[in-house]
Amino acid sequence: MKRVQIMALATFAVLALAPLIVVSRAAAASPAAQSRPKPCGFVTVAAASDLTDVMNEMAASFEKETGCVVRVSTGSSGNFLSQIENGAPFDVFFSADIDYPKKLESEGLAAPASTYLYAIGRIVLWTRNDSRLDISKGLAALRDPAVQKISIANPQHAPYGRAAEEALRKSGVYEAVKGRLVLGENISQAAQFVESGNADAGILALSLALSPALKQQGRFEAISEDLYKPIEQGAVVMRAAPNPRGARIFLDYIKIPTITALLDRYGFALPAKAAAGAKP
Amino acid sequence: MNWSAVVLSLRLAVSVAAILLVVGMPIAYWVTFSRWRWKFLVEAIVALPLVLPPTVLGYYILVGLGPRHFAGKLWQSWFGHTLPFTFGGLLAASVLYSLPFAVQPIAAGFDGVDRRLIEASWTLGASRLSTFFRVLLPLSMAGVVTGLVLSFAHTIGEFGVVLMVGGNIPGVTRTVSIDIYDQTQAANYDVANKTALVLLLFSFLVLAFIYGTSRRALGLWRRT
């Protein structure tokens, strides 16, 4: 009995101490990362979830170039809007819907006239490679009764969800598929629902369909841009930004050709091109 | 205020409480009276949801029971669809997630009953089942009611699992807590405010009811 108790105690001690050791090693490693030169300090960025991968690349390239450190939070634009309205300490907000930065400007929460149209998002019909769905028919393919669940972002507050619903309505399939829609809290979750196979098809951001995680898993069909209003995406500097200088440097940085090329590679239409009517 | 979400949450919570009443009592009975050496392992498993973040359960339901894994494929071949995005899925997740909230107060109630009364009943010829219903249950009613009310209330308050596996379908998986989240995201603060206030009052009333009626059972529950 005693030996059992000692063993139990030893097991407990190991289990309890192991995380502590891991944590202390991580803590020891982080000051080194923070001690590199940072001319504009930490820039805290709130980014719409369609930007997840491209923002990490943008941030990495910015950090390498300037020595500043970017901290990225990704999530739904609607959630960020309401967090910022209630005092969230972000420096820059990359919204998937340009109306949100404009709203923040009009509320005096963003620096006046700082909203910058950085890209125009596009939506695609996406399905896994192992699905037999013929997506080349476009949204009409969703009429197939084998499609039990269709994942889109929540149209109530997610710009990509609004575009998806609009495209479904305009192509006349909305009534037929309404009962089969499942709503992701943001476009990343909508992607996750269909990527995990729990939904059979999804209307996702092109940027996510092109991301490494989804590219290998499935195929997509572009949805005609005549079917939905352009998803104009705006970035804005917060008026209460803890690091306004860093925020401005970052917002200027993303206008350089390397970054716009990166956005282009992730399937975002660039404002200048879109204005010229060019389609890739 | 979104009444279909309120009705859905109530339907879910009533179902969870009913299932846990039936499932929780045998487990609580076993936990209280078993002398099995490894009983503590079962107790630890039952208590897991108290510690685990809802995201862990959400992850396993979504991915582990998803159609890409064996268990999910099996499930799909039996029921024709996977667990996420269905009322049944929420129900299963909520039952697991509220299990300790039912089992622990009920077990504490059983534990509080004088063993001599139970043994007296046995020696007088009553069967174990009859002893359970005529001696044990009436004497531990406070614990049972607490378990019932807590599992009901905990289900109303559930958010993380539902957000991860629900898919936000009106009338099917859009519960009150999800509705508040949605309204906040959409900056409909008026609606969010009303619903939040109703939930706040509701939760307060439930807890006041428990503390008011079964102080003894809840005290025991805290001690275990």
Alpha helices in A70-140 (DSSP H): 77-85, 99-106
Chain A residues closer than 8 Å to B167 by CB: 149, 151, 182-184, 193, 199
User: Nearest to residue B168, comparing CAs of A152, A267, A2?
Assistant: A152
Tokens 């490693």 identify what position?
A29
The pLDDT value given to residue B1: 75
Residue A6 has pLDDT above 80, yes or no: no
What digits encode the pLDDT tens for the residues B64-109? 877 778 888 888 788 777 788 889 889 999 999 999 999 999 999 9
Neighbour-count burial of A140, counting CB atoms closer than 10 A to its CB (0-12 exposed, 13-18 middle, 19+ buried): middle
Q: How far apart are CA A101 and CA A110, in angstroms?
A: 7
E-state strands within chain A = 42-48, 69-75, 92-94, 116-121, 123-128, 150-153, 181-184, 201-205, 218-222, 231-237
Has residue A31 got a pLDDT over 50? no
d(CA A194, CA A163): 18
pLDDT at A36 > cutoff 50:
no
For residue A76, what is the DSSP state? -
Instruction: Give the mean pLDDT of A104-111.
Output: 93
Please state which CATH class domain B3-223 belongs to: mainly alpha
Q: Is the pLDDT confidence value at B223 over 60?
A: no
**Per-residue exposure over B139-151, b if at least 16 CB sit within 10 Å of its own CB, e if not:** bbebbbbbbbbbb
- The CA distance from B87 to B76, in Å, is 15
- Residue range A42-120+231-275, CATH number: 3.40.190.10
pLDDT of B206 > 90? The answer is no
Nearest residue of chain B to residue A152 (CA atoms): B167
- Residue carrying structure tokens 């200088």: A245
- B/e letters for A14-25, b = 16+ CB within 10 Å, e = fewer, are eeeeeeeeeeee
HSE (side-chain half, CA atoms, 13 Å) at A272: 7
- Residue ranges, comma separated, of all CATH 3.40.190.10 domains in chain A are 42-120+231-275, 123-222
- 8 Å CB contact of A196 and B81: no
Q: What is the mean pLDDT of residues A244-259?
A: 92
- Gap between the Cα atoms of B166 and A221, Å rounded: 26
Among A101, A102, A93, smallest CA distance to A75 is for A93
Beta bridge partners of A231: A121
Does A57 or B172 have the greater pLDDT score?
A57
Look up the pTM and report it: 0.79
Task: Tell whether A183 is within 8 A of chain B (Cβ).
Answer: yes
Please report residues of A whose CB lies closer than 8 A to that of B66.
Answer: 196-198
pLDDT digits (tens, 9 = 90+) for A129-146: 999 899 999 999 999 999
Closest chain B C-alpha to A69 CA, distance in angstroms: 28
Per DSSP, B136 falls in state: I
Residue pair B173/B93 in contact (Cβ under 8 Å)? The answer is no
Burial class (CB in 10 A: 0-12, 13-18, 19+), A167: buried
Residues of A whose CB is below 8 A from B169? 181-183
Task: Pick from A196, A200, A203 the residue to mutate for testing the B interface (most B CBs within 10 Å).
Answer: A196
Pick A182's closest partner by Cβ from B163, B168, B186.
B168
Taking the Cβ of residue B62 and every Cβ of chain A, the question of whether any pair is shorter than 8 Å is answered with yes
The pLDDT tens digits of the residues spanning B183-204 come to 888 778 888 899 999 889 988 8
Residue of B nearest to A183 (CA): B167
- CATH number (3.10.310.30, 3.40.50.300, 3.40.605.10, 3.40.190.10) of A123-222 reads 3.40.190.10
Q: Is the dihedral of CA A6, A8, A11, A17 positive or negative?
A: negative
| First vs last C-alpha separation in chain B | 39
Interface test with A, best of B51, B85, B174 (most A CBs within 10 A): B85
* Mean pLDDT of chain A, nearest integer: 85
**Per-residue model confidence as pLDDT tens digits over B99-122:** 999 999 999 999 999 999 999 999
Residue A3: pLDDT band with limits 50, 70, 90: low
Contact A156 B186 (CB under 8 A): yes
- Confidence at residue B83, expressed as pLDDT on a 0 to 100 scale: 80
Section A98-103 average pLDDT: 94
Q: Side chain identity at A107, as an amino acid letter?
A: E
pLDDT of residue A45: 93
DSSP character string of B64-78: ITSTTSHHHHHHHHH
Residues whose CB is less than 8 angstroms from the CB of residue B179 and which lie 6 or more positions away in sequence, other chains included = B2, B5, B195
